[in-house]
């Protein structure tokens, strides 16, 4: 990677940081999901010693953040295009919301699996 590649990588990193800051400042859902990540990372280490399972637990939380960022970008862009009611834009926003919903379901299923696996012997 040459000097231009390093500069491009640095600018991309700065732009990404700005996006994270903007989402944190403007989106309550993103802040709540950051809290879930902050709680979930140490909890993943308590729930399992298996590195793969920890990766799955933490990875699903990060996945929610990724989908939330994409959904927020879609919503912000849609609002920039028009604030008038537009059925097509509503469907697009609903699809973004559905993506968040599915990422939450996935995360819930993975965490439930880990919790049951960890505590089921205790319950039985």
Positions marked catalytic? 68
CA distance 59 to 117: 18
Residue 84 DSSP label: S
What does the buried/exposed string (b/e) look like for 40-76 if buried means 16 or more CB atoms within 10 Å of the residue's CB?
beebbeebbeeeebbebbbebbeebbebbbebbebbe
CA distance 18 to 42: 26
């Amino acid at each position: 990677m040459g000097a231009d590649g390093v500069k491009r990588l640095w600018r991309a990193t700065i732009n990404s940081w700005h996006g994270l800051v903007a989402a944190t400042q403007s989106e309550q859902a993103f802040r709540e999901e950051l809290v879930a990540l902050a709680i979930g990372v140490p909890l993943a280490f308590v729930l399992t010693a298996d590195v793969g399972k920890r990766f799955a637990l933490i990875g699903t939380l990060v996945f929610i953040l990724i989908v939330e960022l994409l959904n927020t970008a879609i919503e912000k862009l849609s609002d920039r295009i028009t604030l008038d009611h537009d059925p097509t834009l509503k469907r697009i926003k609903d699809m973004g919301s559905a993506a968040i919903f599915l990422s939450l379901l996935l995360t819930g299923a993975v965490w439930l699996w880990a919790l049951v696996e960890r505590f089921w012997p205790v319950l039985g």
